[in-house]
């Protein structure tokens, strides 16, 4: 069954908007796991505009499911991951000023760099995943890095699906099939929502995990966090 990892960046954004510790990010992570999520995802950025680097340390003791830390492997981020030792690190090629993730890795151009970084994480028993567009030649290159998984960047699927174009799923299916053939697991994330998750999850072979934050938190404003988590899990069965 596909696991649901909840990205809690937006909870941190709300906390930071007023200072202090409301809402309590750590307690939110505890509750999200109790509500049924199988993982917690954070994506700290260099300016710490939502998740702070200290949050990564504070969350570690209370995560009883899987802990996924996403980010661009600049030296500060690499050091953080090696200190915290999460279940999984997802490498994302964010520009420093990016509002949100907006592209997968060019694994051909950055093959040596990614191979070196991934080797260091794997020496520390941290599962590795590379954020990828559904580009078959680049997925072939991703396998050469030694990564355990890829995470399919699903913004284009979500945009096309909202327009009624179900064929937009096809390159993602092909990418998942190729990744599996090459020995890598398949994760996915970005703009997945209650509206599209059922179609996506049932279409993608061997989908191990989805990481969902913005849509899930927005939907929870109307429907409640516990209810939304269980809606996702039901739709992915």
Look at residue 140 and tell me whether its pLDDT is greater than 60: yes
**Which value, to the nearest 10 degrees, does the dihedral of the CA atoms of residues 203, 206, 208, 210 take?**
-20
> Which 3 state secondary structure label does DSSP give 204?
coil
Q: Please state the rounded mean pLDDT for residues 95-105.
A: 68
Share of the chain above pLDDT 70, in %: 97
pTM, 2 dp? 0.95
Residues tagged active-site: 43, 70, 190
Torsion over CA of 65, 146, 100 and 137, rounded to 10 degrees?
-130
Region 159-170: what's the mean pLDDT? 98
Say yes or no to pLDDT of 100 above 90: no
DSSP string, 124-141: TT-EEEEEE-S-HHHHHH
Residue 48 carries which DSSP code? -
With 80 as the cut, is the pLDDT of residue 186 above it? yes
The pLDDT score that the predictor gives to residue 115 is 98
- Mean pLDDT, rounded, of the chain: 96
27-54 burial, b at 16+ Cβ within 10 Å, e below that, comes to ebbbebbebebbbbbbbbbeeeebbbbe
Q: For residue 28, name the pLDDT band (cuts at 50, 70, 90).
A: very high
Per-residue pLDDT at 146: 98
Distance CA 195, CA 121 (A): 35
């Amino acid at each position: 069954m596909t696991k649901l990892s909840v990205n809690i960046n937006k909870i941190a954004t709300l906390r930071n908007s007023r200072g202090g510790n409301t809402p309590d990010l750590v307690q939110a992570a505890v509750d999200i796991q109790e509500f049924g999520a199988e993982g917690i995802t954070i994506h700290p950025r260099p300016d710490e505009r939502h998740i702070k680097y200290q949050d990564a340390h504070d969350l570690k003791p209370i995560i009883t499911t899987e802990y996924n830390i996403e980010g661009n492997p600049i030296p500060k981020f690499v050091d953080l991951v090696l200190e915290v030792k999460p279940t999984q690190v997802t490498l994302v090629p964010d520009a420093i000023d990016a509002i949100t993730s907006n592209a997968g890795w060019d694994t051909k151009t950055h093959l040596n760099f990614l191979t070196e970084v991934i080797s260091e994480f794997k020496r520390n028993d941290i599962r590795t995943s590379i954020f990828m567009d559904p580009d078959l030649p680049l997925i072939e290159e991703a396998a050469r890095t030694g990564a355990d998984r890829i995470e399919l960047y699903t913004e284009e699927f979500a945009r096309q699906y909202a327009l009624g174009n179900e064929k937009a799923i096809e390159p993602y299916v092909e990418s998942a099939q190729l990744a599996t053939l090459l020995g890598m697991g398949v994760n996915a994330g970005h703009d997945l929502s209650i509206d599209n998750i059922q179609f996506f999850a049932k279409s993608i072979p061997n989908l191990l995990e989805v990481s969902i934050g913005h849509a899930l938190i927005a939907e929870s404003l109307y429907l409640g966090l516990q209810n939304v988590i269980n809606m996702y899990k039901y739709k992915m069965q």
